């Protein structure tokens, strides 16, 4: 993927939600997204992983311009999304679609499947005749795995299963042939038996349509199955970014290690190891000073209380925000060979 162009470029993105304040009180903000930077390449599945409330969905909404950023920039094919208005905004939204988490709430219950999938074609005036419109609707439904198509066209949402509804949502996103899709927890509300089918479908459609995908999920095993690269998010900030296998096999940030350790294993005889984490998630309104993870980290030291760690590249393509990750050997020869990294607390 190294030679691919960037479809999305996010730079120092912030989204603060103001809270109501009383008389003479200091204004408060929920820092849902705080100084986030990353790229998504052409035809790439980029996984965004973290606990509920860390800001993942807010990033997805910002990328499709359902919300406006407090500051920072979002570039789509080199164009700043925040500055788009009217015709240019409409053209942008045709190229960027979103698949929502809840297939029961994301479909209009008063529309048939064909009406719901055809609506974007009507809004963007993409077809010249009723026949052409139905041809594109049937193709999208077929690509989404709803076969035979004829049996689904006149059905209403209440006549579909959860998996079928999510496939209808995928067909609606595909019908306008977008360049980029935000998939917000696309399988979390589906039965385990059909999750793999939907995940495999998204990967096949990525190849067929050449789509870049932002996969938002709390399940790191789903991210590993689908993602080329992965970013781990905590309290509005990215703490680790790398290719998926590197993060799964060689995690450096303590929070990433805790997420991986928490993944259940289908072996009742295996003893569950203790999680390398403590306490509860702090309030996003009044975050701890310094590193936001320090109150739950087993390896926190004095500098963690005073200074926010920067997200820095410690190895080729591997970025980490942690004061306790350093280069082994004082950096000797690091230009000529891969740098080995580890947590200082685990040095022997």
Question: Which domain CATH number covers 92?
Answer: 3.40.50.300
d(CA 292, CA 315): 23
Q: Which of 235, 263, 283 is the last residue of a domain?
A: 235
d(CA 197, CA 192): 10
* Pairing label, strands 312-315, 96-99: unpaired
Assess whether 155 and 303 both reside in one domain.
no
Assess whether 84 and 176 both reside in one domain.
yes
In a domain, 267, yes or no: no
Assess whether 173 and 292 both reside in one domain.
no
The boundaries of the domain holding residue 283 are 274-346
Cβ neighbours for 40, distance < 8 A, ≥ 6 positions apart? 6, 7, 8, 46, 180, 212, 214
Q: What is the pTM of this model?
A: 0.88
The structural domain count of the chain equals: 2
d(CA 158, CA 112): 10
Partners of 267 in beta bridges: none
Tell me: the pLDDT tens digits for 16-32? 998 876 666 777 889 99
SS3 at position 257 = helix
Are 227 and 203 in contact by the 8 Å Cβ rule? The answer is no
SS3 at position 7 = strand
Closest among 306, 273, 276, 270 to 288, alpha carbons compared: 306
In a domain, 261, yes or no: no
Q: Which of 214, 235, 256 is the last residue of a domain?
A: 235
- pLDDT digits (tens), the chain, 348 positions: 445 689 999 999 999 998 876 666 777 889 999 999 999 999 999 999 999 889 999 999 999 999 999 999 999 988 999 888 888 998 898 999 999 988 888 899 999 999 999 999 999 999 999 999 999 999 999 999 999 999 999 999 999 999 999 999 999 999 999 999 999 999 988 888 889 899 999 999 999 999 999 999 999 999 999 999 999 999 999 999 999 999 999 999 999 999 988 887 777 777 777 777 888 888 888 888 999 999 999 989 999 999 999 999 998 899 999 998 864 433 322 222 233 334 443 433
Cβ neighbours for 116, distance < 8 A, ≥ 6 positions apart? 107, 108, 157, 168, 172
In a domain, 115, yes or no: yes
d(CA 172, CA 15): 28
Q: How large is the angle between the packed helices 130-143 and 113-123, nearest 10 degrees?
A: 120
d(CA 338, CA 329): 12
Which token pair is 337?
Answer: 């060979």
In a domain, 264, yes or no: no
In a domain, 256, yes or no: no
């Amino acid at each position: 993927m190294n030679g691919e162009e960037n479809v999305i470029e996010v730079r120092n993105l912030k989204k603060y939600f103001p809270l109501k304040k009383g008389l003479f009180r200091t204004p408060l903000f929920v820092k849902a997204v705080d100084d986030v930077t990353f790229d998504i390449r052409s035809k790439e599945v980029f996984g965004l992983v973290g606990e509920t409330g860390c800001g993942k969905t807010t990033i997805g909404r910002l990328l499709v311009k359902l919300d406006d950023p407090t500051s920072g920039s979002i570039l789509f094919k080199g164009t700043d999304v925040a500055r788009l208005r009217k015709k240019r905004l409409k053209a942008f939204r045709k190229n960027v679609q979103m698949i929502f988490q809840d297939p029961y709430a994301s479909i209009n219950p008063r529309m048939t499947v064909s009406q719901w999938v055809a609506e974007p074609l009507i809004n963007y005036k993409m077809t010249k005749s009723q026949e052409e419109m139905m041809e594109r609707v049937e193709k999208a439904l077929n690509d989404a795995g709803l076969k035979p198509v004829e049996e689904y066209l006149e059905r209403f949402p209440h006549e579909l299963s959860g998996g079928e509804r999510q496939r209808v949502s995928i067909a609606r996103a595909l019908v306008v042939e977008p360049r980029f899709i935000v998939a917000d927890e696309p399988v979390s509300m589906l039965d385990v038996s059909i999750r793999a089918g939907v995940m495999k479908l998204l990967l096949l459609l990525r190849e067929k349509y050449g789509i870049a995908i932002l996969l938002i999920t709390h399940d790191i095993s789903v991210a590993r199955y689908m993602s080329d690269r992965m970013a781990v998010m905590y309290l509005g900030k990215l703490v680790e970014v790398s290719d998926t296998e590197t993060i799964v096999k060689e995690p450096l940030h303590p929070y990433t290690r805790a997420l991986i350790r928490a993944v259940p294993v289908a072996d009742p005889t295996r003893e569950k190891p203790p999680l390398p984490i403590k306490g509860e998630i702090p309030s996003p309104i009044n975050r701890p000073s310094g590193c936001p993870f320090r109150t739950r980290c087993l390896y926190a030291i004095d500098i963690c209380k005073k200074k926010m760690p920067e997200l820095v590249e410690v190895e080729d393509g591997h970025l980490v925000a942690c004061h306790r990750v350093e280069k082994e050997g004082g950096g000797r020869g690091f230009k000529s060979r891969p740098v080995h990294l580890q947590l200082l607390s685990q040095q022997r």
